[in-house]
Amino acid sequence: ARRASLRVLGVGPRPQGDGATLADGWLPSLDAPELLAWAHALGSPRGPQQS
């Protein structure tokens, strides 16, 4: 991901030492309030309209 210039997010306990540099940021879990707020701010993608 880094070679493709994508941002990397670590989830779980932050590793000690050099392991922490493997991600641009760390969150304790996928239901962390800051991650959920960011995802909700994006809005939901709209698929094809159903009739």
Instruction: Tell the residue number behind the tokens 């701010």, with chain if given.
Output: 41
Q: How far apart are the two ends of the chain, measured CA to CA in Å?
A: 39
Q: Mean pLDDT, to the nearest integer, of 2-13?
A: 88
Residue 16 has pLDDT above 80, yes or no: yes
In angstroms, rounded to a whole number, what is the distance separating the alpha carbons of residues 26 and 31? 13
Confidence check: pLDDT of 51 > 60:
no
State whether residue 26 is helix, strand or coil.
strand
Q: How far is CA 30 from CA 5, 27, 45, 51, in A?
A: 22, 7, 19, 34
* 28-32, 33-37, 42-46, range with the lowest pLDDT: 42-46
pTM for this predicted structure? 0.58
41 DSSP assignment = H
